[in-house]
Copies of this chain bind each other. A is one copy, B any other.
Amino acid sequence: MDLLSLVKKSRSYRRFDEEYFIEPELLRGLIQLARYSPTGNNQQPLKYWLSNSPEINAKIFPHLAWAGSLKDWHGPQEGERPTAYVIILGDTEIKSSFGVDYGIAAQSIMLGAAELGLGGCMIASVQRQALREVLGIQEQYEILLVLALGKPAETVVMEPIEVSGGVRYYRDADGVHHVPKHSLEDLIVRDVA
């Protein structure tokens, strides 16, 4: 698949088929993509904490905030929750701040998921201390971002910002998730000829 198609396919999904098990090799393959992605001064300070089991997933789930803009929806119900997680950690023995590195790695992982017909959501709104305690994550590692993954069970469409008049995403009566996007022209402050 060409990259533009892949990037378009890689939407943020928040409802999944919870019957779908994510194989260990598949999850490791996604980390392989992060491993080969750029990292500042080649320091490679990111580490990865993986889960694909119902027991561990159930420990992670309560510590994540879902879809801040959907005021009447508090996250996926049982049966539609993520079936795997990648927790991106920063190793403070290597660096004290992780700048651009974890966004790069996260995007590689999510594009890899999309390529396999999976999807998910990058979640930065995390109860970090509680998650650390319940999973026993060492103090050496800073919790940077949680990637929730699964087999998407919802439809997500992008639309021009003019349709709803703002950037806030919303769900329509059919449960379709709409994501307003600025035009290319709106994003380019200095164009080329």
**Total interface residues on A, using CB and 8 Å?**
73
Enumerate chain B residues within 8 angstroms of A31, measured Cβ to Cβ: 184, 187-188
Enumerate chain B residues within 8 angstroms of A99, measured Cβ to Cβ: 103, 124
Residue of B nearest to A114 (CB): B3
**Complex CA–CA separation, A78 to B48 (angstroms):** 41
Interfacial residues of chain A within 51-77, with CB under 8 A of chain B in the complex: 51-53, 68-69
| Given A4-B32, A100-B144, A102-B103, 12 extra CB contacts under 8 A | A7-B108, A27-B192, A35-B182, A36-B181, A38-B122, A42-B168, A42-B179, A49-B190, A51-B190, A53-B193, A100-B122, A104-B107
Seen from chain A, the residues whose Cβ lies within 8 Å of a Cβ on chain B are 2-4, 6-8, 10, 12, 24, 27-29, 31-38, 40-44, 46-53, 68-69, 84, 89, 99-108, 110-112, 115, 122, 124, 135, 141, 144-145, 158, 167-169, 179-182, 184, 187-193
